[in-house]
Chain A
Amino acid sequence: MALLKNGRLIQDRWTTVDTLTDALKPGGVLVPLDLWLAERDTLRGKSAVGVILPNDADPDLLADDDDRIAAIVLTFPSMVDGRAFSQARLIRERFGFDGEIRARGPVIADQYLYLLRCGVDAVEVPDDTNVESWLRNARRFSTVYQPAADDRVPAYRRRHLVAASAIAS
């Protein structure tokens, strides 16, 4: 698996681990939510910890830890199970988390725009992924109709910004 992040395919430097012993080894680790909740005090000293959030878990569980966690992994058991889209927005918009939010699971290029808009900034993808295809999908639409976790201005504001600036100039 590689990681698609900031428009590029990069090597994933994080390791997914299941036990506390492995979690305490050097290097970035991604730990299951349960392990994090049980051992957060032991793990808190470690700088590079990410938490894997099942898609039916309440993101609230991480709300107080967001400055101790470097990454949150959201899970997509299938491409059509969209619960993590809501989790991503809550984590980004409500808790103001600014670490990495990554998507794990069989999501496809055609969903990339939605992922980005909800605040996901990294996607685990197969090594042979056609990055251009993903990026094309991210750029495809020049208009958005609703505010989300990104900074795109929805049409209902853009229309009137244009009008207002036209009057001002």
Chain B
Amino acid sequence: MYVYDELDRGLVNERVEEFRDQVSRRISGELTEEQFRPLRLMNGLYLQLHAYMLRVAVPYGVLSSTQMRKLARIARVYDRGYGHFTTRQNIQFNWPKLEETPDILAELAEVEMHAIQTSGNCIRNTTADQFAGAAADELEDPRIWCEIIRQWSTFHPEFTFLPRKFKIAVTGAVSDRAAIKVHDIGIVLVQGADGEVGFEIWAGGGLGRTPMIAKKIREFLLAADLLSYLEAMLRVYNRFGRRDNKYKARIKILVHEIGADAYRDAVEAEWADIRDGALALPAQEISRIRKAFTPPAFEVLDAVSTAFEARKFEDRGFARWVASNVRRHKVAGYAIANISLKPAGGIPGDATAEQMDAVAEYADRWSFGEVRVAHEQNLVLPHVRQDDLYDLWLALGSVELDAPNIGTLGDIIACPGMDYCSLATARSIPVAQQISERFADLERLHDIGSISLNISGCINACGHHHVGNIGILGVDKKGEEFYQITLGGQADENAAIGRIIGPGFASDAIVDAIETIIETYLSVRQDGESFIATLNRLGQTPFKEALYGTA
């Protein structure tokens, strides 16, 4: 993991003092709320329905056990004993007091964490593949580049008051687990003609009111040019992105309105002027950061552990958990263990302080002290020996973190919705709870197989509903909660925006509607065909007919 040097540490501490000063100026009346709001937002502090909400950055989804324990402590001491992991790999606390946030930030700074730029119209936390450094299908660890981007974007003097928020995602693997095509900038690590690692650059993806898939802006960018190219991309956006309407202010609208070619031309012209400037990273710095992500001291193990195979044979529950939650690791004898934060009937993404502490302990015991946050609102222990999986699974069971449902219908992404969010038009959590309860039977869940169901409580799409195989959007219809269904969304390398299937459903009918869709799928699928494959083969018609009859 990246470890702060004294420059990084100094800066984060100075930021805490700055925020302390800003909070006291707000409380004393020197700053109006209008002036203070953008400042608090740039420290991740929102005002929500019931209280303030603090969003803490988990840079590219990587946490050490020490940091996880600190999050648990903050939940316990300053909040109400829990936190919510988000689709942006961050964590949100729902009940902090304004007066105490400087202290919270000071505690976070002790473990090299902060809430810098977790909100506001600036470059947000860069997200990445949650399996970075562990995935078998990875070209290079994307975290190296995420950390470089994190530093470059922190307090960027030119890009702190952009037209709108700006989100960058990076993947180094063949399978895109970071949803890079629905980000403002998506970066894919690729191999150049001479075998060197460089980047494929995408721009203009995004969800919200006008969902769009990113366009490819550059086929190949040399590693050393990363920052100058990003600077050119951001400068064109800052100058020409719309500011007259906040729903049209994202880069996706700029790219869409002027066209990817015109945007590319403007970026390339800008880049030509700065390419050879001060932004070229010294090779020593790249190697310093690369060193921070040196793989841990893996043991040399057999590719197949007989003990592990035997356990799976003996214990069906364990075998099921392995089948759904464990992924292949790039090192023989190791595995990636996903920890589902989606127990049937639970609140997606929520974890209690006790659970956080437990995960920290398991990470120390079995995963070199490393934890990841996945954008699907789950946690990951990236480097577990296959031989330790059984003990890990038992331990997870003791804190109710052993739901064997990763990638299934139980693994629902849901934003906080109206239960917490002041922008919501409907609740999303209760819908997630009812669906996961309805499909709690594990035989059935695993028979349905691989599928994604995402729920947002309003058009802002924090719950990624557009890119769920099944998407649910909560709307307000004359004071009643109503839910609109989209089918066909995908967040991976085949990213696609789902299409609305028909009129929405009332809150007491939405779960039945989902069940109808699933039953239809089961009745028409071919052998081994996933939900999305069936849908792509047959189109929406059978589902539409099942839901609304043949008109």
| Residues in A lying within 8 Å of B, measured CB to CB | 79-83, 85-87, 89, 94, 108, 110-111, 113-115, 117-118, 136-137, 140-148, 154-160, 163
Contacts and interface: CB of A to CB of B under 8 A. Distances in A.
Contacts of B158: 82, 85-86, 89, 114, 118, 148
Interface of B: 5, 7-8, 10-11, 14-15, 17-18, 21-22, 31, 35, 38-39, 121, 151-162, 227, 235, 238-239, 243, 273, 277-279, 281-282, 284-285, 288
A144 B155 contact: yes
Contacts of A146: 151-152, 156-157, 227, 279
Nearest to A139: B14
Contacts of B21: 136
A159 B160 contact: no
A87 B157 CA distance: 12
A160 B18 CA distance: 28
Q: Which of B11, B22, B288 has the most CB of A within 10 A?
A: B11
A85 B31 CA distance: 23
17 contacts: A80-B38, A81-B243, A83-B243, A85-B161, A85-B238, A86-B235, A86-B239, A115-B157, A118-B158, A136-B21, A141-B155, A143-B7, A143-B8, A145-B155, A147-B279, A155-B151, A163-B284
Q: Which of A82, A89, A154, A158 has the most CB of B within 10 A?
A: A82
Contacts of A145: 11, 151-156
A7 B10 CA distance: 24
B11 A141 contact: yes
B39 A143 contact: no
Closest 4 CB pairs of A and B: A82-B161, A147-B278, A117-B157, A114-B157
B14 A141 contact: yes
B22 A81 contact: no
B285 A143 contact: no
Contacts of B285: 156-157, 159-160
Contacts of A113: 155, 157
A156 B281 contact: yes
Contacts of A117: 157
A118 B152 CA distance: 15
Nearest to B277: A147
Nearest to A116: B157
Contact of A80 (B10, B121, B281): B121
B22 to A, nearest CB: 7
A152 B409 CA distance: 52
A155 to B, nearest CB: 5
B75 to A, nearest CB: 29
Given A143-B10, A160-B285, A83 B239 contact: yes
A154 B227 CA distance: 13
Nearest to B5: A159
A86 B236 CA distance: 9
Contact of A118 (B17, B157, B278): B157
Nearest to B238: A86
Contacts of A136: 21
A75 to B, nearest CB: 13
B278 A154 contact: yes
Contacts of B39: 110
A110 B22 contact: yes
B273 A155 contact: no
A94 B235 CA distance: 13
Contacts of A81: 161, 243
A15 B494 CA distance: 59
A114 B278 CA distance: 18
A117 B156 CA distance: 9
B202 to A, nearest CB: 22
Given A81-B161, A114-B160, A146-B227, 13 more contacts: A79-B35, A79-B38, A79-B161, A82-B158, A85-B158, A85-B160, A111-B161, A118-B158, A141-B11, A147-B279, A148-B158, A160-B285, A163-B284
Contacts of B279: 146-147
B501 to A, nearest CB: 39
B154 A142 contact: no
A154 B157 CA distance: 12
Q: Which of A94, A137, A155 has the most CB of B within 10 A?
A: A155
B11 A143 contact: yes
